[in-house]
Amino acid sequence: MKLKVLLDNNTITDRYFYGEPGVSYLIEDEGKKILFDLGYSDVFIKNAKKLGEDLKDLDFVVVSHGHLDHTWGLKHLISKFNEWETEKINYKKPTLVAHPLAFKYKELKGRCIGSLIGKEVLENFFEMKLTKEPFWLSENLVFLGEIERTNSFENIDSLGDIFIDTRMRDDYLLDDSALAYKNDNGTFVITGCSHAGICNTIEYAKKITEKENILDVIGGFHLLNPSENIIAETLDYFKELDIEKAHPCHCVDLKSKIEISKVVDIEEVGSGLVIEI
């Protein structure tokens, strides 16, 4: 399995890629290509080109959850589809994989923070696979679906509101999901923001892949100025976890990274990074 970071908040020194506060990874496994999240803009397309990828051969586009920093890039990918259609350039029509709530209208204090494009439009450009259940993208790579929330300290508060069944409701990000890749040695967890909780996410990945050993975790851990209780409980969890290393990025602040580094070996992430398992 190969993972290319098309987009992260950070860039790597002496590499010439763009960054923005979002997430986008291109994953290759068993002949399949998966685009995981798309950031805010067309930066993921620009960085893909720098890495020799034109995104015409995508089998799946996976959305971790419905927030703007993970979905607004859909507009730019659809624009490429239209361009290729007009110019009669061949490309695959990928399957869009997400939780059924991912494209519902979301707002925070009256401001739209969700996808600008709804399911009714997206189904004109993608095969659609909206599921709460785990969905295997290849023999060893799985979309986790709706993540079980089993601990008492993560995802306690709502984050904005979501429009469901004719009215706005508190949004606890039930659509937040992740990917997990397994091999003989363990599981590699790939997250967007981990609104479900990074510990909940890892535990659910272990359950679905039936692997206890965690090779690596890359992505957002949703640790932005966390309370003392949350960071303490998270550190306790990581101390007990059988994990080789981690790549915290996107929505993890510097203080949290420093604390995590005391219990887990962490490595730098930036646009252009390539990881092979």
**118: phi then psi, degrees, rounded to nearest 5:** -90, 175
Nearest-angstrom CA–CA distance, 60 and 109: 33
Number of neighbouring beta carbons within 10 Å of residue 109: 7
Chain position carrying tokens 């859909």: 74
Tens-digit pLDDT string for the chain (277 aa): 999 999 999 999 899 999 999 999 999 999 999 999 999 999 999 999 999 999 999 999 999 999 999 999 999 999 999 999 999 999 999 999 999 999 999 999 999 999 999 999 999 999 999 999 999 999 999 999 999 999 999 999 999 999 999 999 999 999 999 999 999 999 999 999 999 999 999 999 999 999 999 999 999 999 999 999 999 999 999 999 989 899 999 999 999 999 999 999 999 999 999 999 9
Spatial strand order in the sheet of 186-191: 135-136, 141-143, 178-183, 186-191, 214-219, 247-248
Nearest Cα to 73, choosing from 27, 115, 38, 113? Answer: 38
Give the position of tokens 């709530």: 101
Q: How many C-alpha atoms does 16 have within 13 Å on its Cβ side?
A: 2
User: Which residue type does 62 have?
Assistant: V
DSSP state of 219: E
Q: Is the Cβ–Cβ distance between 29 and 181 less than 8 Å?
A: yes
Is residue 106 within 8 A of residue 113, CB to CB? The reply is yes
Q: What is the DSSP string of 190-210?
A: EES--TT-HHHHHHHHHHHHT
Q: How many residues are recorded in the chain?
A: 277
Domains of the chain by range and CATH? 2-276 (3.60.15.10)
Single out the residue of 195, 235, 241, 238 nearest to residue 219, CA to CA: 195
3-state SS of the chain: helix, strand, coil percent to 5? 20, 30, 50
Q: According to the model, what pLDDT value does residue 242 have?
A: 84
